[in-house]
Chains A and B, each alone.
Chain A
Amino acid sequence: SYVLTQTPSVSVAPGTTATISCEGDNIGDKSVHWYQRKTGQAPLLVVHGNTVRPSGIPPRFSGSNSGFTATLTINSVEAGDEAEYYCQVWDTSGDPSVVFGGGTKLTVL
């Protein structure tokens, strides 16, 4: 089965840039989605289709995907961005199935 690997934790200072990676075999050929999960809240879709921000998501959030790594970038990080971030794809190598990465905890120092 397809595996998505994320760095468990990232720490950045407010106002700087956070880079959260998601690695998978030829992930560049897939459509990657990113979710923000704050404690006590439902997950929130922040990027879909590798680069598209849903309505209401600030432009500080951006995504990219190439080769073996997809990346979520958060510019001018704010305290309110502290959360877990998960990448997700559909694995269509057999019966289609949804795959989530293991999550990255973003800490704003």
Chain B
Amino acid sequence: QITLKESGPALVKPTQTLTVTCSLSGLSVSTSGTGVGWIRQPPGQALEWLAFIYWDDTERYSPSLRSRVTITRDTSKNQVVLTMTNMARKDTATYFCALMRRTDAFDYWGQGTLVTVSS
């Protein structure tokens, strides 16, 4: 059974850097043809894609957030990590990680982790 679980701080201060981790079980992050993405949803707003990393370490970023976001893989821990710099109140959102396999759709999602940006 494939599961994803996000973890990270519930509260960050403005200007701080956010680090959230996606732990994958039931499938290796190195499995050919797969990738993991990060998507967020601010309260009352739509889903917004942030970043994506393929099994071969190819990275993709949202054009609007490219300067602030970095995605990496830790194959030894079977995790994917997202960092976002210079956090602001508008970055308050539920952050999801999701698995993409050969369908190029996100077919497994974590439950999400709510991150609030406040001083």
A: which residues have CB within 8 A of B? 1, 31, 33, 35, 37, 41-45, 48-49, 52, 54, 86, 88, 90, 94-103
B105–A100 touching, CB < 8 Å: no
Binds A, one of B17-25, B47-55, B70-78: B47-55
A54–B107 touching, CB < 8 Å: yes
B49–A42 touching, CB < 8 Å: no
Which of B41, B61, B62, B105 sits near A88, CB closer than 8 Å? B105
A99–B46 touching, CB < 8 Å: no
Binds A, one of B7-15, B83-91, B108-116: B108-116
What CA separation (Å) do A95 and B98 show in the bound complex? Answer: 20
Which of A41, A49, A96, A99 sits near B105, CB closer than 8 Å? A49
Interface size class of B (residues with CB under 8 A): 20 to 34
A45–B63 touching, CB < 8 Å: no
Question: How would you classify the secondary structure of chain B's contact residues: helix, strand, loop or mixed?
Answer: strand
Q: Does B119 contact A (CB under 8 A)?
A: no
Which of A31, A37, A100 sits near B48, CB closer than 8 Å? A100
Q: Does B103 contact A (CB under 8 A)?
A: yes
Contacts of B106 in A (CB 8 A): 33, 35, 43, 45, 88
Closest to A103 in B: B46
How far apart are B88's CB and chain A's nearest CB, in angstroms?
21
A42–B112 touching, CB < 8 Å: yes
How far apart are A1's CB and chain B's nearest CB, in angstroms?
6
Contacts of A97 in B (CB 8 A): 49, 60-63
